[in-house]
Structure 1
Amino acid sequence: MKIDVCYTPELIHQFEVENKTVVVIDILRATSCMVAGLGSGIQSITPVATVEECEALGAQGYIMAGERGGEKIEQFHIGNSPFDYMKPEMKGKKVATTTTNGTQAIELSKNAKEVIIGAFLNLNAVVNHLTKSENDVLLFCAGWKGRYNLEDSLFAGAVCNALKQNAELESDSALCAFFLYQSMASDLAYYINRSNHAARLSKFNVKEDIEYCARLNEFNVVPKLVGSELTV
């Protein structure tokens, strides 16, 4: 198995994804929400690129979830908090979601052999899934508006670290993620809270979200893109 890392959607055109498992990563907060929601009983999540696509699914009875710039979209049912996705009334529901970064990265991954969703909340489940797979792996960080970010890169490094005995870190990108994680693994929550994206989100009073998204292995699920839907 070979592992590579793409740090932002702006770089994805430099990678061949067709024969790979792509792990989409948006720790704050899209992929954390997806893991939490599907791990808590949501039936499916359909990621879409635009507000209009989400509204069209909402007209068909889907729960509309999403944000732009960190803020809940006004007319939507829920925003981009994992706690919204874990509410008891969400069990069995179909959700349509659009976000600034994460859903865009999923859209750019659709030509991959397999697309799965990664977060610290399901780190071990992702590692176990990749260990059993024969596919090469691309860890795809959603970043922030096309830019690098710390928390997604830390998760990529955590996967590289966990698989280092059984996989080849194919590039300097993978090596950098690996060494970054090793340097910060002793206190992930501290470093994630120091990230620029955490600072941007802090004005929306979502400190509990940020702390929750830094937790490890709360769910033993691996959301997988099947057609246009994420399911487990």
Structure 2
Amino acid sequence: MADKPSVEVCFSPDRFDLYYQGQPIVVVIDVLRATTAMCVAFEYGVEKIIPVSSLEEAIEYQRMGFLVGAERNGKIVDGFDFGNSPTGFMTDKFNGKTIVLTTTNGTRAINTANKAETVIAAGFVNLDAVNQYLKEQQRDTLILCSGWKDRFNLEDTICGGAIVDYLVAEGSHISDHDSSVAAKYLYQSAKTNYFGFLKSSSHRRRLKKLNLQEDIKYSLTPNKTSVIPFLKEGELIKLG
């Protein structure tokens, strides 16, 4: 019998090159809020999302006439029409459109991972769909947590741990790295009450100060959608 594929967790983009060993699939997670917002955007009819890492790139797309959103430090950047609020995409005004998005952490993580054969975006909101997809693919997988400015964060790690926990329990994957074991145990500690467990997390406190409680609540609610954002030639599309 062939060896089972592996699933491992990398805590932040600056560690990516240490963990990436040519895995065919990279799952990028930015629970609060980029990958959650991307799922919502596709659910509400966005056709494509172009993720860019810098404000300079975003401005160039703006000059070309694209709809461009930008977020830094939890806030919409002056001069842009939207940021990465999931609730901000719950509208038909983006239906059928290609949009450009840059965020503090999530879009940079996606672009960091773009050397992989397959890059998808995940959060709690599409957790079951991502788990099922990875189980069916039966390929080595690296979970890349976007973190906060290259630092570890709880919410992305817990979400990554949920994926590891599922795939290992199902017997479809194996996991060896201590980072993955830690992520799995954090998830097991948090799974009955994400809100309570993450109450003191730095980014939840940061967003609460910005009166973004609705975004927090939505982002920490599992399985709101079956959408899986998929990177194709530098653009995110809806898988399938």
TM-score bin, normalised by smaller chain: over 0.9
| Structure 2 residue aligned with 1:190 | 196
How far off is 1:18 after superposition? 2.9
**Contact 1:116 1:223 (C-alpha < 8 Å) held by counterparts:** yes
Q: Provide, for residues 100-147 of structure 1, a one-character-per-residue CA deviation record: whole Å limited to 9, x for no partner.
A: 111111111011111000011100110111011132010100000111
What SS does structure 2 have at the residue aligned with 1:127? helix
1:13 corresponds in structure 2 to 17
Q: Is contact 1:22-1:109 (8 Å) kept?
A: yes
Q: Number of residues paired by the alignment? A: 232
Match of 1:125 in 2: 129
Q: How does 1:65-214 map to 2 (within 5 A)?
A: 65-164=69-168, 165-214=171-220
Which residue of structure 1 lines up, in the alignment, with residue 237 of structure 2? 231
Query: CA offset at residue 16 of structure 1?
Result: 2.5
Q: Which residue of 2 aligns with 1:54?
A: 58
Q: Structure 1 residues 74 and 4, CA, compared in 2 at 3 Å: closer, same or farther?
A: same
- Residues 180-208 of structure 1, C-alpha deviation per residue, up to 9 Å, x if partnerless? 11111111122233311111122211011
Give the structure 1 partner of residue 221 of structure 2. Answer: 215
Asked whether the 8 Å contact 1:122–1:219 carries over to 2, the reply is: yes
CA–CA distance in structure 1, aligned partners of residues 98 and 178 of structure 2: 39
- Give unpaired runs (5+ residues) of structure 2: none
1:17·1:113 contact (CA, 8 Å) conserved in 2?
no
**Alignment RMSD, CA only?**
1.2
Normalising by structure 2, we get a TM-score of 0.93
8 A Cα contact 2:30 2:36, kept in partner: yes
- AA aligned to 2:233 is G
The 2-side partners of 1:137 and 1:17 are apart by 10
Indicate conservation of the 8 Å contact 1:23/1:115, yes or no. yes
Whether contact under 8 Å (2:155, 2:198) holds in the other structure is: yes
Render the CA deviation track for 1:75-119: whole Å, top value 9, x for unaligned: 111111001122121111111011111111111101111100001
Q: Give SS of 1:168's match.
A: coil
Q: The residue matched to 2:191 in structure 1 has which SS?
A: helix
Identity of aligned residues (%): 37
Using the size of structure 1 for normalisation, the TM-score is 0.96
Counterpart check, 1:40 vs 2:32: no
| Deviation digits for residues 45-77 of structure 1 (CA, Å, limit 9, x no counterpart) | 110011121122223332211211111011111
Q: Which moved more, 1:141-150 or 1:79-88?
A: 79-88
